[in-house]
């Protein structure tokens, strides 16, 4: 018996550039789509752990039909909560990324009907790990409370202490300014 998920999810991988000419689109590849708990574990047990990936790799776990890009029509009005783990040795990134994925596919990050969560991302970089959660909107027109609630739950899953903050920024800011300099909109 397989246990169905509420949504179908696709795992994407950004491989590190092999030459200077490689652009974002050459590097981003869809790996697999699944819609049961058992298939998730099958994938999980057969792919490289975050801690074993080369620098400049990303995993993206997004709802089926959404490309993990700012430009996707379902992302272009959205944003993300993210946290950068600057002490790579102090963090169990494999465990956190697993918990983030389980929270996403188990739909525990938002309430039924919120319809904000697009996907989750882990960036493996030389100096840090970053985990992000992409949302459909930036909370314009009364949706801010929903985003703040999602941010609070995400922060719990990431086990961030209360005296530290995670930030939300809009993708349009990221696209214009370069992701790391995106303007923070909300903090929790």
Nearer to ligand M7G, 125 or 149 (CB): 125
Nearer to ligand M7G, 39 or 78 (CB): 78
State yes or no: residue 17 binds ligand M7G (CB under 6 A).
Answer: no
Cβ 117 to ligand M7G shortest distance, Å: 16
Contact pattern from residue 26 through residue 65 relative to ligand M7G, giving x for each residue in contact according to CB under 6 A and a dash for the rest: ----------------------------------------
Binder among 57, 101, 123, 138 for ligand M7G (CB under 6 A): 123
DSSP state string for 12-58 = EEEPPPSSTT--HHHHEEEEEEEEEHHHHHHHHTTS--GGGSPTTEE
Report the alpha-carbon distance of residue 129 to residue 121 in Å, rounded.
Answer: 10
Nearer to ligand M7G, 40 or 61 (CB): 61
Nearer to ligand M7G, 57 or 146 (CB): 57
Side by side, the strands of the sheet bearing 4-14 are 28-36, 4-14, 57-63, 117-124, 129-135, 79-85, 167-170, 186-187
Cβ 178 to ligand M7G shortest distance, Å: 5
Report the alpha-carbon distance of residue 184 to residue 182 in Å, rounded.
Answer: 6
Query: Residue 79 is inside which H or E element, if any?
Result: strand 79-85
Nearer to ligand M7G, 10 or 123 (CB): 123
Report the alpha-carbon distance of residue 120 to residue 12 in Å, rounded.
Answer: 10
Report the alpha-carbon distance of residue 115 to residue 146 in Å, rounded.
Answer: 10
Binder among 32, 44, 51, 69 for ligand M7G (CB under 6 A): 69
Binder among 71, 94, 95, 111 for ligand M7G (CB under 6 A): 71
* Range 152-181, binding ligand M7G (CB under 6 A): 178-180
State yes or no: residue 101 binds ligand M7G (CB under 6 A).
Answer: no
Collapsing DSSP to helix, strand or coil, 94 comes out as helix
DSSP state string for 144-174 = HHHHHHHHHHHHHHTT--TTS--EEEEHHHH
Which residues make up the interface to ligand M7G (CB under 6 A)?
24, 69-71, 123, 125, 178-180
């Amino acid at each position: 018996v397989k246990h169905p998920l509420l949504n179908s999810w696709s795992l994407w991988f950004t491989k590190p550039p092999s030459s200077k000419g490689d652009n974002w689109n050459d590097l981003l590849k869809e790996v697999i789509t699944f819609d049961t708990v058992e298939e998730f574990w099958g994938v999980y047990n057969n792919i490289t752990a975050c801690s074993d990936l080369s620098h400049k790799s990303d995993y993206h776990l997004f709802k089926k039909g959404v490309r993990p890009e700012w430009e996707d029509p379902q992302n272009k009005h959205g944003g993300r909560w993210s946290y950068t783990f600057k002490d790579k040795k102090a963090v169990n990134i494999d465990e956190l990324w697993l918990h983030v994925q389980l929270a996403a596919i188990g739909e525990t990050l938002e309430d039924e009907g919120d319809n904000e969560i697009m996907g989750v991302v882990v960036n493996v970089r030389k100096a840090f790990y970053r985990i992000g959660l992409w949302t459909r909107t930036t909370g314009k027109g009364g949706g801010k409370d929903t985003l703040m609630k999602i941010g609070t739950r995400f922060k719990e899953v990431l086990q961030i202490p209360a005296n530290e903050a995670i930030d939300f920024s809009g993708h349009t800011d990221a696209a214009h300014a370069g992701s790391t300099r995106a303007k923070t909109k909300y903090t929790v």
